[in-house]
Copies of this chain bind each other. A is one copy, B any other.
C-alpha cells in the first residue's frame, strides 16, 4: 500500500490508507484519544484506543495505517480509525519551545531561534508555499516568453556599483566579494546571445541596518532583455508578469491565502508617474518633503495611499529618476540628460523593484564611468561585451522576500525567509 497524503484521503472513504506525519494535537478522552496528524498537505483526525495512544507525545513522527470514515465533527469531516501505527521519529524534549498547534503569537526572534519548530505551524509555513508559487509563476511566464534561466557567479572580483556595502571573501590568496546583484552578468548574457535572461539567485548586501524590510542575504528575481525600444518595454513586461503571478497564486494557493486571511490585489494598469511629480504631490497633498531626487520610506507609504485613492492601484511605477541617484549603467534621456530611463515599482508602500534601460553604446558607457569617477579598466570584463554589437536592453529585479511579505501581508521580511541573515543573525 502506497502512502496517501492527508489532502487525498477523502477519495478513500471506507478504505484502508497509510498516512505519515507528525502528532499535531492530542485530545485524550480516556478510553480513546483523538489525535490530529499533520503532514505536508494538511491535518486529519486519528482515532486511537487506550493501548494505541500510550506514550504518544506532541510532534512525534508517525506512520499510520487505518480506515477512513466520515465524522462531521472532525477537521475536513473525515477521520482515520487506526489499525496500526509506528513511531518513526521520537520525542527527546521536556517541553516544546512554543506551541505548534495554536496560532498564538510567539515573538519573531524566538520563532527564528527554533526555526524548524515554528515552521511546523501551517500558518507560519503558508508564506513559503506561496513563495514557491511566486517563483514558479515568475519562471513559467518568462520561459513562455523565450527567456533563458541563467546561473552566474556570486563570488566576484569587483562591485557593480563601486564596491560599497559588499561582503568580502578570502579567495585563496586574493580578496573577492559577494555579488550585490547579477547586474553586469545578466547584461553580458544578453550580449552573449541569450538575448532574454532571468536569474533566481542570492544577492548580498552588507548594509548596516536591521529593519523589518532589510535582509543581508536575499533572493533576487532578476530579468534582463535585449532588443527593446525603451524602458516602457521593461515596465510592460513587469506588469504582465505580475498579472500572471497574481492569477497563478489565486489558482494554486487558495488554501494558503485563506489561512493567512489575505487576498491579492487586482492589477488593471499600473500608473507610471514621474518621480518629480510624485515629490510635488507629496508636498502639496501631505505637506511631506522628500529627499533630493528620491522618496523616503514614509514618502513611499504616503504616495502609495495617494495612488490607491486616485487610481485604485496597489502598485505604482515611479519613473525618470535623476542620474545622480542611479548606477553608472543607467540610460539617460537624450533630450534631458539629467534624468534616466529608469523606474522603481512601489507596492503597498514598499519598493519591490528597481529597473530601467541600460546604456548599450560602448563609448557612452566608458564616458559615463569616467564621469562617475570609476576606472573603465577595472571593468574591462564587462565593457568588452559592449564592443561587439550590444543591442538596446534593460531589465529589473524583484526582491523575492519583499514581494512575498507584501502578498502575504506579513509585518517583517524575516517571516518570508526560511533562515534569515541579518546583522545579528547567522544561525540557525
Q: Which residues of A contact B (CB under 8 A)?
A: 3, 5, 20, 22-23, 38-41, 59-61, 63, 88-93, 96, 114-117, 119-120, 125, 128-129, 132, 135-136, 143, 146, 148-157, 167-172, 174, 176, 178, 185, 188-189, 191-196, 201-202, 204, 206, 208, 216-217, 219, 226-227, 360-363, 381-382, 384-392, 400, 418-419, 421, 423, 426-428
Asked if B38 contacts A193 (CB within 8 A), the reply is: yes
Asked if A152 contacts B20 (CB within 8 A), the reply is: no
| Residue among B23, B93, B170, B204 making CB contact with A167, cutoff 8 Å | B170
Output the nearest chain B residue to A168 by Cβ-Cβ distance.
B170
Asked if B418 contacts A151 (CB within 8 A), the reply is: yes
Asked if A22 contacts B389 (CB within 8 A), the reply is: yes
Asked if A61 contacts B117 (CB within 8 A), the reply is: no
Instruction: Please indicate the chain B residues that have their CB under 8 angstroms from the CB of A63 in the complex.
Output: 227
| Residue among B39, B227, B361, B384 making CB contact with A116, cutoff 8 Å | B384
Interface centre among A23, A153, A217, A385 (most CB of B within 10 A): A153
Asked if A61 contacts B227 (CB within 8 A), the reply is: yes
Q: How far is the CA of A427 from the CA of B132 in the complex (A)?
A: 32
| Residue among B125, B361, B391 making CB contact with A192, cutoff 8 Å | B125
Output the nearest chain B residue to A219 by Cβ-Cβ distance.
B151
Asked if A116 contacts B172 (CB within 8 A), the reply is: no
Instruction: Please indicate the chain B residues that have their CB under 8 angstroms from the CB of A421 in the complex.
Output: 153, 155
Asked if A191 contacts B116 (CB within 8 A), the reply is: yes
Asked if A176 contacts B426 (CB within 8 A), the reply is: yes
Asked if A192 contacts B120 (CB within 8 A), the reply is: yes
Asked if A167 contacts B169 (CB within 8 A), the reply is: yes
Across the A-B interface, the 7 shortest Cβ-Cβ residue pairs: A381-B428, A119-B192, A89-B389, A61-B391, A116-B192, A61-B389, A92-B387
Q: How far is the CA of A171 from the CA of B424 in the complex (A)?
A: 10
Instruction: Please indicate the chain B residues that have their CB under 8 angstroms from the CB of A188 in the complex.
Output: 115-116, 428
| Residue among B129, B152, B385 making CB contact with A148, cutoff 8 Å | B129
Other A-B pairs beyond A61-B390, A119-B194, A120-B192, 15, CB < 8 Å: A40-B146, A41-B146, A60-B389, A61-B226, A90-B362, A91-B387, A92-B388, A115-B188, A117-B388, A119-B193, A128-B148, A128-B150, A155-B217, A155-B426, A172-B206
Chain B: minimal CB distance from A9 (Å): 15
Chain B: minimal CB distance from A355 (Å): 20
Chain B: minimal CB distance from A284 (Å): 41
Instruction: Please indicate the chain B residues that have their CB under 8 angstroms from the CB of A392 in the complex.
Output: 88-89
Chain B: minimal CB distance from A139 (Å): 9
Instruction: Please indicate the chain B residues that have their CB under 8 angstroms from the CB of A191 in the complex.
Output: 116
Asked if A22 contacts B202 (CB within 8 A), the reply is: no
Chain B: minimal CB distance from A280 (Å): 36
| Residue among B90, B208, B382, B427 making CB contact with A389, cutoff 8 Å | B90
Asked if B389 contacts A217 (CB within 8 A), the reply is: no
Q: How far is the CA of A398 from the CA of B143 in the complex (A)?
A: 23
Asked if A193 contacts B125 (CB within 8 A), the reply is: yes
Output the nearest chain B residue to A361 by Cβ-Cβ distance.
B90
